[in-house]
Chains A and B, each alone.
Chain A
Amino acid sequence: MSEPRTDAKICGMGHSMKRKEDPRFIRGQGRYIDDHVLPGMLYMDIVRSPHAHAKIKKINTAKALKIPGVLAVIDGPTLAKYNLHWMPTISGDTQMVLPIDEVMYQAQEVCAVIATERYIAADGVDAVEVEYEPLPVMVDPHKSLAPGAPVLRKDKEGKKDNLAFHWQAGDKADAERALAASDVVISENVYLPRIHVASMETCGCIADFDTAQGKLTVYMTTQAPHAVRTVLALVAGHVGLSEEKIRVVSPDIGGGFGGKVPVYPGYVVAIAASVVIGKPVKWIEDRMENLQADSFARDYHMKVELGAKRDGTMTSLKIKTVADHGYSNASANPSKFPAGLFSICTGSYDLKHAFCEVDAAYTHKPPGGVAYRCSFRVTEAVHAIERATDALAQKLNMDPAELRMKNFIKPEQFPYKSVLGWEYDSGNYGAALKKAMDIIGYDALRREQAEKRKKGELMGIGISSFTEIVGAGPSRDFDILGIKMFDSAEIRVHPTGKAIARFGTKSQGQGHETTYAQIVAEELGIPAAHVQVEEGDTDTAPYGLGTYASRSTPTSGAAAALASRKIRDKARKIAAHLLEVSEQDLEWEPGKFFVKGAPQMAKTIQECAFAAYTNHPQGMEAGLEAVHYYDPPNLTFPFGSYICVVDIDRGTGDVKVRRFVAVDDCGNIINPMIVDGQIHGGLTQGIGPALYEEISYDDEGNISGGSFLDYYVPTALETPKWETDKTITPSPHHPLGAKGVGESATVGAPPAIANAVVDALRHLGVTHLDIPITPEKVWTILKNKGVAE
C-alpha cells in the first residue's frame, strides 16, 4: 500500500500529517517531569560513591542536617527498617536500593538528602561525609568469569561464581560440524562497547503520597507506567501500598530509548521518602548522574565464526558472547529471553546451521544491558552478522553486495523459519539492497575507490543488510515478570463524532498522538484531527506493557485498528437502523455507510455517533466505544539495506561519512514523515556509537565518558545528509500490514559505517575494527602500515 485510501481531511494511513504533539514541543509548552511542581514539594538529591567497590565504614550526616532546609538523610539502614533496601530487577535479579555496608559500583547511590529546595538538597549532599574502605575491583568480565575469581554477589546465598546467567540457542554440535566442513571460515572478535542512551531528558520523578487517602501518585519518566504500578504493588505491598491506591503518571518524556524502562534506586528512595514524610518529593537526575549511574547499553564481547563454501554460500554461524552486566542483571528483557532476541543473529541470510550462546558476567560497574533503541540485543546480533559477512566477503575476495545477494532469504521462502527458531513474517531483501545500490551508484563508487587507492587515498564503501525482530509479544513466549506482553487500545466516540483514544503504550517522542489518531481515522473515517490520544496515566489508560522494542505499532497500533473495527461494527448496526435497511445492504467507505446501489442514502460515522447517544436502536446499549487487548500472533521483521561511503584523512585518521543511503522496509506506512523522522534519528544514534560514543572503566572502576565533555554525542554538524528511501513488504499478520520502525536505523547503521571503514583499509590487511572507530584507532593502523601522512 503506498497511496492513501482516505482524503487529506480524514488523514488516515499514508498521509504525512504534521505531528499533533509538535505545537506544544516546539513552543516549549511540553510538560516534562521537571515542569511539574506540587504544593509543598520537597527535593531529593543523592550522595554517590566515588569508589567502584568499597566498604562503607561510616556515614556522617551531622553537618548536612545542620543546614537550614535539610530535613532528612535517608540511608540503607533507614530503608531496611521497612525492608525496602533491596528491590527486584525487571530481569528477575536483585539490586540494592541503598547499601547497608558495601558499594558495588562507582556512582552508586549511598544515601539521599531531602530538603525544602533543590539547591539546599545539593548543599546537603556536599556536606554528608562518608568514610569508605576501598576494596578490590573487578572490571573485566572475562576475569570475572574465570575459575577462582572472587565472588561479587556475596548477597546471593550459595553463589560460587560471577555468572549472572548462561543462555544459548541452536544445536552446538551441528553448527560446529558444519563449520568444520566449510571451505572457508572467518573468525572475528567483535566488541560492542558500553554506551549510554543519553536522552535529552534525564530520569526523575515526583512521588506524592496522600496520607489522608493512603494513595500514592508517582509522576515518573517511565516508558512502562502500568508495569511500574504492578511492580510497586508487588514489592511494597508489605508497607501498605496496594494497586488501586497507586497511580503512575508518565508525562511528556524527552527521549527514553530503553533507559526509562528499568526502575532505578532513586525512584524507590523518593517514593519511600514521600510515604514516610507525607509530602511530595521530587528527584531529578543531573546529566552526570544520568551518564554515570544508569541507562547503559551493549557491552557485548562476541566471538563470531562464519563458514561458507568456496562459491560464497554461507554454511554455518557460531557466536560466543561474554556479556558484561555490571553489578546486577537489571536489563529489561522478557523473562524467557535473558539475552533478548540475540538469536536473530542469522540475520537476512539463509543459514542452515547456527549456534549462539551468552555468558553474562557480574562486574563492579553499574547495571547495564538496557535495550537502547533496540528490540533486546538485536543491535548486537546485527552487528555480529553484518561484520562477519563483510569479513567473509574479504576472505573470499568477493564483492560484499554480491555475497549478500547470494545468501539472502528469497522472497518466496517467507514465512521463513530460521534455524534458531524464529518465523520471519515477510521480506524482500534483494529488492532493498538493489534499490540502495542504485541510489548510491554502487558500481561507480567502486570504480572511484579503485582510482583513489592507486593515488594512496582512502575511501570505503560499507553495506549493512539487516533484519530486525520487533513488536513483542506474542504472549505465549513473551512476558516481563510474568505479565504478558500484549498491548491495548480503548476508544470512545463522543456524541459529536469526535473521539478519545487511550493506550497502554507511552510515547517518548515517537509521535503516538499522531500515528494512533491516523489509525483510528483510517478505520473509522473520523478525521485524525478529531481524535485525542492519551497515554501514560495508569488511572485512565488501559493496561499495557509500554513502549520499547519498536512494539507500539505492532501491538497497540493493531489494538487501535481492531477496537476501531468493533466500533465500526456497532456503527453499522446504528446506520442500518437509521436508514431502515439491513446491515448486509450497507457498504463502508472511510467516514460513511451507504446503501449498496444507492450511494445518496448514507450515514456518516458522525451521524452514527450522535445516534448512539440520542437515537440508538431499542435493545442496543447506548454509547460508542470499544477496548481491545491485542496479542500479536508473531513478531514483525522490518528490514533494510544501508550503504555508506567514508573518506579517511591520512594525517589524522579522521573518518568522514560522505554519503549514507538508507532503504527501509517497515511494511505499510502510517505516517511517512514520522517514519522518516524515526529513520533520521535512528541513523544519528547509529553514527554515534559507530564513530564517537563509548563508556569505559579503568582498573579501579573509574568511569571514562561520564560527562558530555568526553561522552561524544554527535550533533547535526557531525551527521551527513541522510538519503532515505523505502520498499514496502506488508506484514501478513498485522491488521494494518505494518511493522515497527523505531529502531531499524540504530540497529542497521553502525555495521554499515564500520564496514565502510574496514573496506577503506582492506588493502592494508585490516579485517575488523571495533566501534567506536576513533581517529586514533585508524591513525594507529595507518602508522603501523607506514601510510600515515
Chain B
Amino acid sequence: MIPAAFDYHRADTLDEALKLLKKHGDDAKVLSGGMSLLPMLKLRLASFAHLVDINRVPGLDYIKEEKGTLRIGAMTRQAALERSDVIKSKYPILADAVPLIADPLVRNRGTIGGNVANGDPGNDQPAIMIALGATFIVRGAKERSVAANQFYKGLYDTALARSEILTEIRIPVPPLKSGGAYTKLKRKTGDFAVAAAAVQLTLGKYGAVERAGIALTNAGLTPIEAVDAAKYLVGKMPDEKTIAEAAKMAAAKSAPSADRRGSVEYKKEMARVLTARALHKAVQRAGGS
C-alpha cells in the first residue's frame, strides 16, 4: 500500500488552488480530508501527478444559518457537523447520519465537501443533500451553483470539472412541521452502507405531506433519488399504508450490486425496510403521528 510518486502543492488561498488546478489540468486532484483519495492512491487504484491540498485555504470551514439558508463550508469536517448545535437541533437527518459515517478517526479528517464531491455511491452525504434539496456552490473560472440532484452523473463522475472546487453547500432551512431521518444498515463501524435511506418531509396544516425528499445510498452507481415515491406522498396523510407503498416505490428504483454486504435481492429489500423506517421517523419528528 504504497502510492506512486506525486507532487504535493499546498495552496494558501482559493485563487492559488484554482490556478494550480488550471495549470496541471487532468494531472491534478484536489486533496481535502484525504480519507477517500489517499486510500485510492495507496492501493494504486488511481494516481495523479499533482495533489492540490486545500486544507490551509481560509474561509471554507463554517456552519451558519443566514436568510433561510443553512450554509456549510466545503472544508467543514464531519466531526464539526457531529458537534454542531444547529445541526443537532434542526437537521436530525444529518444528526442521524454523521455518527454513522466511517469511524471517529475518519470523521476528524473527512470533510463534507469531499464527501459530496467524491462521487462514490457509498458516500452517505449525497443522498442526504438530495433529500434536503441542497445546492452546491462551485468555483472555477467563475462561480456557479448546481442542485444536488443534478450533480451525480455516474460512478466517480460528477458535474464538477477538474479545474473546479466545491466551496459551499446550501440547504434551505426547513419550515415548521418538517422532519428528516437517515437510516443506515452496515456490517460494522467503518463500513459503507448495505443500504441506507435519507428522508426529509414537511407536513401541511392538516398533517398531509407537503414536500418530500427521498434518496438512497449505495443503491446504484449514483445516489438514487426516489422521485416517484416522493411525488406519491405529496398530498397524502402519511399513514402506515401510504408509507409502506412509498417505501416499496423507492426500493423499486434501487439497482444495487451484490458484494460481501449482501445479494441484490437483500439490498433492495433493505432499501424498502430502511425507507419505511426513515419515513416513520421523519413523520414523527415533523410532529405527525
Contact = CB atoms under 8 A, between A and B. Distances in A.
B188 A652 contact: no
Given A651-B273, A715-B188, A776 B263 contact: yes
B35 to A, nearest CB: 13
A712 B2 contact: no
Nearest to A711: B260
B265 to A, nearest CB: 9
A657 to B, nearest CB: 13
A286 B43 CA distance: 10
B246 to A, nearest CB: 16
A775 interface: yes
Interface in A487-538: none
A775 B194 contact: yes
A715 B103 contact: yes
A652 B273 contact: yes
B82 interface: no
Contact of B260 (A651, A704, A718, A780): A704
Nearest to B195: A652
A118 B190 contact: no
Contacts of B116: none
Interface string B1-26: 11011000000000000000000000
Nearest to A287: B1
A493 B262 CA distance: 61
B187 interface: yes
Contacts of A710: 259-261
B277 interface: yes
A598 interface: no
Contacts of B132: none
Contacts of A709: 191
A718 B189 CA distance: 7
Nearest to A716: B189
B269 A779 contact: yes
Interface string B184-222: 010111110010000000000000000000000000000
Contacts of A779: 266, 269
Interface residues of B, number: 25
Interface string A670-694: 0000000000000000000000100
Interface string B257-278: 0011111001001100110010
Contacts of A651: 273, 277
A712 B103 contact: no
A704 B262 CA distance: 13
Contacts of A654: 185
Contacts of A718: 188-189
A252 B44 CA distance: 30
Interface residues of A, number: 33
Contacts of B273: 651-652, 789
A708 B187 CA distance: 12
A701 B188 CA distance: 26
Interface stretch (A119-127, A447-455, A471-479): A119-127
Interface in B49-64: none
A404 B273 CA distance: 39
B189 A715 contact: yes
A651 B5 CA distance: 47
A288 interface: yes
Nearest to B103: A715
Contact of A712 (B185, B191, B259, B269): B191
B1 A286 contact: yes
A718 B194 CA distance: 16
A202 to B, nearest CB: 10
B181 to A, nearest CB: 15
Interface in A752-789: 774-776, 779-780, 783, 788-789
A14 interface: no
Contacts of B191: 709, 712
B188 A712 contact: yes
A714 interface: yes
Contacts of B103: 715
A713 B190 CA distance: 10
A278 B274 CA distance: 61
Contact of B4 (A126, A692, A712, A788): A126
Given A715-B190, A718-B188, A652 B2 contact: no
Nearest to A713: B188
A712 B262 CA distance: 13
Most buried by A among B189, B194, B266: B266
B262 A776 contact: yes
A705 interface: yes
A710 B258 CA distance: 13
A212 interface: no
A707 B103 CA distance: 17
A775 B269 contact: no
Nearest to A705: B260
Contacts of A789: 273
B1 A692 contact: no
B234 to A, nearest CB: 26
Interface in B216-264: 259-263
Interface string A266-288: 00000000000000000000111
Contacts of B194: 775
A757 B251 CA distance: 28
Contacts of B261: 710
B2 A692 contact: no
Nearest to A688: B188
A372 to B, nearest CB: 19
B5 A717 contact: no
B1 A288 contact: yes
Contact of B187 (A45, A123, A712): A712
B219 to A, nearest CB: 15
A776 B266 contact: yes
A712 B259 CA distance: 13
B277 A714 contact: no
B47 to A, nearest CB: 10
Contacts of A705: 260
Nearest to B1: A286
B260 A652 contact: no
A126 B73 CA distance: 39
Nearest to A717: B189
Contact of A775 (B5, B189, B262, B277): B262
A44 B138 CA distance: 44
B263 to A, nearest CB: 7
Contacts of B44: 126
B3 to A, nearest CB: 8
Given A286-B1, A709-B191, 19 more contacts: A288-B1, A652-B270, A654-B185, A704-B260, A710-B259, A710-B261, A712-B188, A712-B191, A712-B260, A715-B103, A715-B188, A715-B190, A717-B188, A718-B189, A774-B262, A776-B262, A776-B266, A779-B266, A779-B269
Interface of B: 1-2, 4-5, 43-44, 103, 185, 187-191, 194, 259-263, 266, 269-270, 273-274, 277
Give 6 closest A-B pairs by Cβ, nearest first.
A122-B2, A710-B260, A651-B273, A286-B1, A717-B189, A715-B189
Interface of A: 45, 118-119, 121-123, 126, 286-288, 651-652, 654, 692, 704-705, 708-710, 712-715, 717-718, 774-776, 779-780, 783, 788-789
6 contacts: A286-B2, A288-B43, A652-B274, A705-B260, A710-B261, A789-B273
